[in-house]
Structure 1
């Protein structure tokens, strides 16, 4: 069965960040590691953000070449592009945005002297 992976901060990780269990150097190394992972995810998402809509447009144009540019084909193509856009936004939030927000909030709460400095 297919599963959707949601990248989120675990309760244990949040507890360690809020409880100041990391030294500043350890926190900076953790931040650098998480930032590398986030950049890799964003790189893959950028590819998807280009390829997926282009694929939908190609399929829409192939359909239109057979049926003509009727109102139904235009509406269907536009509706599919809107759905793809919404799914890509949701994918970004679940893969990158949620974890970054949770990490940033935990760091700000546990390390107020670093407010805004080690954000993802």
Structure 2
């Protein structure tokens, strides 16, 4: 089993770094990639909200059954930390790596557009 990490393809990176696209083509590509990134961000926000709500509900159910003991509170804190860590790793794999690679390639190949077409 492998974890999928959303990355910029080698051919696309080469086209960007070697300045093979016109500014219009780059603007079109940026718009398309930006829409994809925004869709991933919306989906991740939904997943984060659902995960945290589920975490809270399960914690409240556990407190209702076992009472607010130190062990239950510790477990709640640890589970919440694990959920947040998983969400951070998911963000990095789905959004962060791709955006970083794209931004770096554009800055190398198109220094005149520095900061304009960032994801």
2:97 is the counterpart of 1:98: yes
2:88 is the counterpart of 1:89: yes
TM-score relative to the length of structure 2: 0.96
Distance (whole Å) between structure 1 residues aligned to residue 90 and residue 12 of structure 2: 23
Distance (whole Å) between structure 2 residues aligned to residue 22 and residue 61 of structure 1: 55
For residue 103 of structure 2, give the secondary structure of its aligned residue in structure 1: helix
For residue 74 of structure 1, give the secondary structure of its aligned residue in structure 2: helix
Q: CA deviation at 1:58?
A: 0.5
2:36 is the counterpart of 1:37: yes
Aligned to 2:10: 11
Distance (whole Å) between structure 2 residues aligned to residue 26 and residue 43 of structure 1: 26
Distance (whole Å) between structure 1 residues aligned to residue 59 and residue 110 of structure 2: 51
CA displacement 1:73-114 (0-9 Å, x = unmatched): 100011000011111111111101110010000000001110
Q: CA deviation at 1:13?
A: 1.2
Q: How many residues align?
A: 119
Aligned to 1:117: 116
Instruction: Point out where structure 1 has 5 or more consecutive residues left out of the alignment.
Output: none
Instruction: Point out where structure 2 has 5 or more consecutive residues left out of the alignment.
Output: none
Q: CA deviation at 1:64?
A: 1.3
- Point out 4+ residue stretches in structure 1 off by more than 2 angstroms: none
Aligned to 1:80: 79
Q: CA deviation at 1:4?
A: 2.4
CA-atom RMSD in angstroms = 0.9
TM-score relative to the length of structure 1: 0.95
Q: CA deviation at 1:21?
A: 1.1
